A = this chain, B = another copy of it.
Amino acid sequence: MENSINPAKPIQRVLLVIAMHAEAMPIVDVLKLTQADSAIFPKGVPWIRYTGSLEGLFDIDVVVPGKCPIFGVDNVGTVPLALATFAAIQALQPDLVINAGTAGGFKAKGACVGDVFLATQVAYHDRRIPIPIFDTYGIATTKCTPVPNMIAALGFKEGNLSTGNSLDMTQQDEQLIKSNDASIKDMEGAAVVYVTNLLSVPAILLKSVTDIVDGVRPTTEEFLENLSTAAVALLKTVVMALKFVHGKTVTEL
């Protein structure tokens, strides 16, 4: 059950973990991935795996946490994607994990709708534990796997990502998001990084902005209106990133 990084080994298998169907399907379609049987997962879980390759160059799996069997909506939030990521890494032993998805952006940090950010650092804004040391554990500020060459070559916007399980933002969330110096906020990223660090797999987070959190329009309205546009921007960026990854080791990214 060991995952170990060999810095000299070219990346041969990439696992994309994506919370929402609408975010994943453009990528699945363009890469012509096919739905795999779910035998790698425990019986009964709603997780779905799509598998194939990038133009025959290396193996790609896309794993989504699927739909809630009770409510029929995507299993968004930290726990479902953390579990699916954990199980997928165990089964597939990828060389690299990419968490692709949508996010709210802060115009004060230069974000516009449709921008795709590469997260350089993640933290939580909804784990407030006001006991010394537990407080910093709760926020869990963590650097992402450095990819300076990818950023330089592809011109990605960079920024800190703050994660919480809510789509909206309370005053307390806002304080912590500011303290996390976040350009973008999402509902899964820090939990994916927690899992990839636990299992010693490098991870890249690409987040496409659906709404401007510090703007004038309600998040929900903007989110729903821009979800498909953001998913297309995300698709383009993910394909660029995958092509850049081809033939490289993690330390060359």
Contact = CB atoms under 8 A, between A and B. Distances in A.
Given A71-B133, A198-B45, A220-B131, A126 B166 contact: yes
Nearest to A198: B45
A198 B168 CA distance: 27
B195 A77 contact: no
Number of copies: 2
A14 B224 CA distance: 44
A36 interface: no
Nearest to A169: B128
Contacts of A68: 137
A194 B86 CA distance: 15
A127 interface: yes
Nearest to A42: B1
A164 B165 CA distance: 9
A73 B165 contact: no
Interface in A41-91: 41-45, 68, 70-73, 76-80, 82-83, 86-87, 90
A97 to B, nearest CB: 14
Given A83-B82, A200-B44, A71 B136 contact: yes
A166 B220 contact: no
A130 to B, nearest CB: 5
Interface residues of A, number: 53
Nearest to A71: B137
A203 interface: no
Lowest 7 CB-CB distances: which A-B pairs, in order? A128-B166, A71-B137, A127-B165, A2-B43, A1-B42, A129-B167, A79-B82
Interface of A: 1-3, 39, 41-45, 68, 70-73, 76-80, 82-83, 86-87, 90, 124, 126-131, 133-134, 136-138, 164-168, 170-172, 191, 194-195, 198-200, 220, 223-224
21 contacts: A1-B42, A1-B43, A3-B42, A3-B44, A42-B90, A42-B198, A42-B199, A70-B137, A71-B134, A71-B137, A76-B129, A76-B137, A77-B138, A86-B86, A86-B87, A129-B166, A130-B220, A131-B220, A138-B165, A165-B165, A170-B171
